[in-house]
Copies of this chain bind each other. A is one copy, B any other.
Amino acid sequence: MAEPAILIVEDHVKMADSISKGLEENGFTTEVAYDGFIGKRLSDAKDYELIILDINLPQINGYELCAHIRKKNASVPIIMLTAMGSTEDKLLGFDQGADDYIVKPFEFRELLARIKALLKRVQPDPKSLRVLRVADLEIDLDSKTVKRGNISIDLTAKEFLLLEFLVQNKGKVVSKADIAEKIWNITFDTGTNVIEVYVNFLRKKIDKNFPVKLIHTHIGMGYILKAGDDANQN
């Protein structure tokens, strides 16, 4: 099935579309229902990641719809979004099972923040897989492990930092000055050649035994991490 989406039930077309657009720009998938009846049909038909509900809706009002959704799906987060700002209204909303209640007018950024706060509760961080890849090189920032293909590679702390920096800038040439600052906290005026030495260490470990080299030198400029050999770069 398609990725989970956010359902927006709102009869003001402009408002609905602007929320939808804003959310999509922030990486969410959305579906819009312009009245309560369609909202009900959609929410019955599939499971949403989150539902945004206006209260003054044609056909079925937001409170009823909220109660209906809750009866069938205890876990989907629901945000009520309405012009009615009295405490009584809010309490009614929470009573029907809403998780949050936002009064119009509001700033989109606040809605977004509240959506994120709520989603954080429901899907406790999908294991924050912090894994970076370049070609068949894979570096895991959590376990601090590195693999090329399916061969594990042991790196020391400095080597790992350097590789991480290169991977984060894959496809870009990074100067020795940048590296010196980032990894060694020095200003690269000192007559040291640690960087060359460590690039050499890295090459021995991640490139030497593999046909495709990943670390490339641009003389006078710095180093770049990418697949493809020096012949066909640019």
Contact = CB atoms under 8 A, between A and B. Distances in A.
A87 B100 contact: no
Contacts of A109: 87, 91
A99 B87 contact: no
A193 interface: no
B221 A144 contact: yes
A99 B121 contact: yes
Contacts of A100: 100, 114, 117
21 contacts: A74-B124, A75-B124, A87-B107, A91-B110, A91-B113, A94-B113, A94-B114, A99-B117, A99-B121, A118-B121, A121-B122, A143-B172, A143-B224, A143-B234, A144-B221, A144-B224, A154-B230, A156-B220, A157-B218, A157-B220, A160-B221
Interface of A: 74-75, 77, 87, 90-91, 94-95, 98-100, 107, 109-110, 113-114, 116-118, 120-122, 124, 140, 142-145, 147, 152, 154, 156-158, 160, 171-173, 218-221, 224, 226, 230, 232-234
